[in-house]
Amino acid sequence: MTTLPPLPTTPDATFAAYASANLVNAALAKTKHTLDVRNPATGQVLGTAPASTAEDTALAVDAAQAAQAAWAAVPARDRGKRVSAAARALAEHGALIAQVLARETGKAIRTECRGEVAVASDIMDFYGNLGSEIKGQTIPYNPRMLTMTTREPLGVVTAIVPWNVPLVLFALKVGPALVAGNTVVVKASEEAPFATFLMADILMRHLPAGILNVINGTGAECGDALTRNPDIAKITFTGSEAVGETIYKIGASRIIPVSLELGGKSPMIICEDADLDKAVAGAISGMRFTRQGQSCTAASRIYVHESLRAAFMAQLEEALNALVIGDPLDESTDVGTIINARQMATIQRYIALAEGTEGATVKRYGTLPSSADLSPDLFIQPTILMDLPDNHPCVMEEIFGPVAVVQSWTDYEEVIAAANSTHYGLAASVWTRSLSTALDSTARLNAGYVQVNQNLTIQPNVSYGGFGRSGLGKEASLEAMLEHFTRSKTIVMNFD
């Protein structure tokens, strides 16, 4: 291993800096195997990232294990101060991180990447300021005994992050884990690892060696070895439902805690009394069209009251046609690219299913880019599917692309039942001017993150997480840090 060189100052220097090397124990750890990372907007190879083997993975876990006791011994508030200082450094390098993120994910730098960097920094700072809240309780068990609880770190945590919002999800896992006294091994997404490496490199320069380590590789080799390593005390994962199920089984076989944030098929219910302008804007933001719909919380099932359907669709179509699809680095671009050909094929398969359904309507909006500098393969227009049967795969299954289903309704009880007719339960929204409707619907919707008249993304200090097969556990709150990254110990003292 070699110690960390000066931070890169350009995107190309970033891709070169982490070529074939993990970040382990505050140093570059070269790997024998590599994989190419491509710019989805151009098809060009950005760089070669490490493809970690079980041996490479064990090196990172060993470093984290060796550093854990000393980090746990640091007072919690002091740990928090270190994490907050690191978070401020992220903000200082935000422009570069956003450039790298846009190139490797295909997300538009103006509408998505800069905001993601800012939110990730904010989340890290939020958790840094919660160090003093890691505390136990005294218990009135017996006046002649001192009975209390304490909060302790778990040990080495592995955090597995996806490619769609890697920096925010990194912060949601790494921030609370570190402040709570754990050390962490992050597995970056092999589709988009470089912004994650850059973010971690910046953080590491403000933290003790070994407490944060980042590796990259495939799920089948690197991810599997990491989750099965006997020194891992906790797994936190965001990704697909199928992989989450596998990780949960691995955790169960080792009897260690696992938290999961998986898929979603989030309903958006637009009531007869809704503010139409707000609802249309909420559909655009809630469906995450500027992220190409690549979001677990995407409002991909839009139930609009029949009396508003024509006006809603007219305004929605106008708004969608106004979105600029193009080069993610262009300041005028609203919508970038799908991450890879495999995901594009999945999206196109669902659209074809809708097109082959009798009575269904499929509409595409916006204009695809024609620049010779861009590869056309992964650009796709925002798409609306209408008049599908309630049990259609496009209505029931997560597409993870810029494809929303619009259904009309007239009966309130039926639309609540339709919204709940899924094994997912991540997010939902209701659009109404009625407080009684808002109170009733939010109580009855089977989702962990329910909003009224808005479709915000993840926010620090707002507990976030799903029900059912959307996952286990919460993120983004004090409770999430205490519940998922500490263990409670009961102590009873008797000196009689």
Chain Cα centroid distance, residue 268? 20
Catalytic residue among 113, 296, 394, 474: 296
For strands 21-24 and 27-30, give the pairing: antiparallel
Answer yes or no: 355 catalytic. Answer: no
Can you tell me the distance from the alpha carbon of 457 to that of 88, in angstroms, rounded to the nearest whole number?
A: 22
With CA atoms as reference, report the closest residue to 448 among 409, 422, 474, 423. Answer: 474
Can you tell me the distance from the alpha carbon of 287 to that of 403, in angstroms, rounded to the nearest whole number?
A: 8
Answer yes or no: 30 catalytic. Answer: no
CA angle 99, 102, 105 (to 5 degrees): 145
Can you tell me the distance from the alpha carbon of 449 to that of 427, in angstroms, rounded to the nearest whole number?
A: 5
Q: Considering only CA atoms, give the Rg of the chain.
A: 23
Catalytic residue among 107, 116, 173, 398: 173
Helix (H, G, I), strand (E, B) or coil at 451: strand
Q: How many CA atoms lie within 13 A of 481 on its CB side?
A: 32
Spell out the residues 6+ positions from residue 14 whose beta carbon is closer than 8 angstroms to its own: 8, 96, 100, 194, 197, 198
Burial state string for 130-149 with b = 16 or more CB within 10 A and e = fewer than 16: bbeebeeeeeeeeeeeeeee
91 contacts 182 by C-beta, under 8 angstroms: no
With CA atoms as reference, report the closest residue to 319 among 302, 341, 338, 307. Answer: 302
Q: What is the DSSP string of 382-446?
A: -EEEES--TT-HHHHS---SSEEEEEEE--HHHHHHHHT-SSEESEEEEE-S-HHHHHHHHHHS-
Answer yes or no: 296 catalytic. Answer: yes
Residues labelled as active-site residues: 173, 261, 296, 475
